[in-house]
Amino acid sequence: MKIPLSLLIFFLLVTKSYQKNPWDGFGLALIWPPGYCASIGDRCEESKVKSDFTIHGLWPFANSGAKLRPGRNSKTYQPIPKNSPLFNPLTANWPSIEKNKPDDGFWAHEWNDHGRASFTLFNQPQYFTKALDLLHRNNITRVLQNGGIARGRQYRDTQILDAIRRALNVNVKIQCKEKYLVEVRICFDQAAKAMINCNTKGITGQCPKSFTFKSLPAYRVLNVWDFGK
């Protein structure tokens, strides 16, 4: 039996509509190292803490909040060699600041638990490259500084959120722990290109009404500058 062309086109369109990506967007989770370090106490590797936001992960999300599974044909984490052009940027911008948790193990966790879910869009090198690019394009350290948010002071959640909204023109999520700001989470579209509002169950964040935007200890600031060395 010959199928009419119009019916064939209809079936093709219906089939294509069900072949969409399982994720609705991406969340770029950025750690504030001084706050995170203060929240975990003795488990912090203080020598690796710097006064600039670093990457926690790039997380594909479903608006429903459902956990996304790794792609069927995606490969588990492949160690990044030291001579790779990604190694130094990741070491500088995606460090693990917990003792006995090496950077490579952190990267492996983020790729296996999150990156593999978007494997049809990004392979492993592309995933890490995209996260680094989004970090540099959205300098939250500078955004907060320009918004009058000073380190070492207490703020209401609305003050931090409003400062970021004025600069980026989107709503973000913030995460606190032990009354310290530890993360800022920015949402992007399905292609991880355009920023969108984080009005979704897929990327969450919770802070008390008042918390501390912690600064580096004074002795660490001296070590960072090292008097011109």
* Beta bridge partner(s), residue 177: 180
What's the helix, strand, coil split of the chain in %, to 5? Answer: 40, 20, 40
Residue pair 12/172 in contact (Cβ under 8 Å)? The answer is: no
pLDDT tens-digit series, residues 168-220: 999 999 999 999 999 999 999 999 999 999 999 999 999 999 999 999 976 55
Domain covering 21-228 in this structure, CATH number? 3.90.730.10
Global pTM exceeds 0.75: yes
CA atoms within 13 A on the CB side of 119: 15
User: Reduced to 3 states, what is the DSSP secondary structure of residue 31?
Assistant: strand
**Planar angle of CA 51, 57, 63, nearest 5 degrees:** 125
Hey, is 226 helix, strand or coil? helix
Confidence at residue 10, expressed as pLDDT on a 0 to 100 scale: 43
Distance CA 220, CA 229 (A): 15
pLDDT tens figures, 41-96: 999 999 999 999 999 999 999 999 999 999 888 999 999 999 999 999 999 999 99
